[in-house]
């Protein structure tokens, strides 16, 4: 396992740098309750819109809340829920794609028509429709994004399985009496993991942007909780007098999304994996 990880990082400067940046953000997000200097929701109107100081390194917002603390807690939401969306969508997509590609026939046709029906709508429009039905809230956004994202993993996985199931080792497994589920679990899924995970790295950036966009529109996380998109929304009223309220979270979204995209591109080139 260690040798495999060394092979991924060896001589790959872009992968190394991006991985360190992403790891740093995850560490900050996980340790936010212990390393954040202030309470993220504590209001102090006497210090509202204060500039940077020793007590508040990045100043305070319109309610006197510490900007640095809220950025740290915002990372927990943006990165945490993006990861949850990625893992859930990946699990559903790999299972559906493996079943569709391996069984073929009417099962394949039915599942692929379902995927095409979902893909016929722009992602954000479909998510907005789903959130509109269930109402605003972070869990509703999570559910909506999961319902949209799994389709891409399913289609990619299905195409790879169609190619894999004609290989000799799959034929040998059938001859030995292995069931279809055992073949999918032991032989198909392990062989599609790497390309799917590489594609998922690119999708992480989209998930973070979608979460932030929906929170900016007031459909995601609700006040007073911190999230980068919601912080940008709160800062729009002070765009002329205190633009940093929008710049801080916007810059973090930009940095994280670009880092995930560069990492995904680098991994795709390293393993010769075509992007969707």
Residue 257, Cα to own-chain centre: how many angstroms? 9
Q: Give residue 27's pLDDT band: very low, low, confident or very high (50, 70, 90).
A: very high
The three-state secondary structure class of 60 is strand
pLDDT higher than threshold 60 for residue 272: no
What pLDDT does 258 receive?
A: 93
Nearest CA among 226, 212, 189 for reference residue 63: 226
pLDDT higher than threshold 60 for residue 2: no
Rounded Cα distance between 78 and 226, Å, is 10
Instruction: List phi, psi (to 5°) of 139.
Output: -65, -35
pLDDT higher than threshold 70 for residue 221: yes
Query: Which residues have CB under 8 Å from 182's CB, separation 6+?
Result: 173
Q: Give residue 14's pLDDT band: very low, low, confident or very high (50, 70, 90).
A: confident
Q: Give residue 6's pLDDT band: very low, low, confident or very high (50, 70, 90).
A: low
What pLDDT does 153 receive?
A: 86
Query: Which residues have CB under 8 Å from 97's CB, separation 6+?
Result: 153, 154, 155, 156, 157, 158, 160, 161, 192
pLDDT higher than threshold 90 for residue 65: yes
Instruction: List phi, psi (to 5°) of 157.
Output: -65, -40
Over residues 106-159, the pLDDT tens digits come to: 888 898 888 888 888 777 788 888 887 888 887 888 888 888 888 888 888 888
What pLDDT does 270 receive?
A: 66
Q: Which residues pair with 66 in a beta bridge?
A: 60
Over residues 68-83, the pLDDT tens digits come to: 999 999 999 889 988 9
Percent of residues, the chain, with pLDDT higher than 90: 26
| Residue at token pair 């943006």 | 78
Q: Give residue 23's pLDDT band: very low, low, confident or very high (50, 70, 90).
A: very high
Model's pTM, two decimal places? 0.86
Over residues 31-63, the pLDDT tens digits come to: 999 999 999 998 988 899 998 999 889 999 989
Q: Give residue 5's pLDDT band: very low, low, confident or very high (50, 70, 90).
A: very low
Rounded Cα distance between 16 and 19, Å, is 5
Answer with the residue of higher pLDDT: 260 or 6.
260
pLDDT higher than threshold 90 for residue 30: yes
| Residue at token pair 């670009």 | 258
The DSSP code sequence of 141-155 is HHHHHHHHHHHHHHH
């Amino acid at each position: 396992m260690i040798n495999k990880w060394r092979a991924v990082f060896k001589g790959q400067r872009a992968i190394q740098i991006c991985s360190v940046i992403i790891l740093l953000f995850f560490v900050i997000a996980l340790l936010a309750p212990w390393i954040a200097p202030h309470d993220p929701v504590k209001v102090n109107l006497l210090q509202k819109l204060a500039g940077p100081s020793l007590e508040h390194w990045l100043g305070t917002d319109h309610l006197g809340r510490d900007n640095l603390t809220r950025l740290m807690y915002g990372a927990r939401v943006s990165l945490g829920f993006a990861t949850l969306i990625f893992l859930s969508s990946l699990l559903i997509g790999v299972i559906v794609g493996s079943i569709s590609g391996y069984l073929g026939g009417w099962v394949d046709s039915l599942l692929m028509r379902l995927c095409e029906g979902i893909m016929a709508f722009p992602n954000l429009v479909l998510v907005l429709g789903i959130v509109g039905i269930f109402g605003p809230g972070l869990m509703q956004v999570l559910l909506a994004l999961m319902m949209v994202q799994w389709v891409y993993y399913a289609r990619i996985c299905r195409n790879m399985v169609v190619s894999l199931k004609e290989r000799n080792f799959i034929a040998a497994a059938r001859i030995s009496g292995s069931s279809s589920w055992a073949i999918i679990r032991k032989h198909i899924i392990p062989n599609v993991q790497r390309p799917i995970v590489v594609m998922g790295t690119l999708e992480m950036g989209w998930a973070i942007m979608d979460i932030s966009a929906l929170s900016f529109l007031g459909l995601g996380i609700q006040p007073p909780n911190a999230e980068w998109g919601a912080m940008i929304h709160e800062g729009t009223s002070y765009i002329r007098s205190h633009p940093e309220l929008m710049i801080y979270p916007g810059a973090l979204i930009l940095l994280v999304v670009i880092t995930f995209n560069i990492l995904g591109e680098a991994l795709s080139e390293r393993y010769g994996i075509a992007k969707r």
